Amino acid sequence: MMEYLKYIGQGLIVFGSLFLFLGALGIFRMPDFYNRLQAGTKASTLGAMSLILGVGFIQPEWMIKSLIIVVFIAVANPLSSHALGRSAYKNNLKPFMKKKMDAYEKVAEILPKEEDRL
């Protein structure tokens, strides 16, 4: 039984590392900040989650702790990427677009700028 858990854990770690690598490649290849955010957020979330879960499978006494970390990553990662994307837009970083499709533009002009709120 322990043997199988170990194999599952190693499989998860390899799977996670693969997606972390793909996320890094995405950050390297994408044309602008927002698309890098896309690749970075998704790949690093699944990659880190499955890597830590794999550690939990190899060391079963750490399983519950690694589950807490997985839940924390699933909540915190999208929040931070949301904050990054929003603040980038508010600081006039225009997204790269092949054809102009920007529904947020009209709203961002009306809203108070970040520095005015401080």
> Which residues form the interface with another protein (CB under 8 A)?
19, 22-23, 25-26, 29-32, 34-35, 37-39, 41-43, 45-46, 61, 64-65, 67-68, 74-75, 77-79, 81-82, 85-86, 89, 95-105, 107-108, 111
- Tell me how far, at minimum, the Cβ of 34 lies from another protein, in Å: 5
Taking the least distance from each CB to another protein, the nearer of 10 and 74 is: 74
Asked whether the beta carbons of 33 and 93 are under 8 A apart, the reply is yes
Taking the least distance from each CB to another protein, the nearer of 101 and 118 is: 101
- Tell me how far, at minimum, the Cβ of 21 lies from another protein, in Å: 10
- Tell me how far, at minimum, the Cβ of 58 lies from another protein, in Å: 17
Among residues 28, 48, 45, 44, the alpha carbon closest in space to that of 36 is found at 28
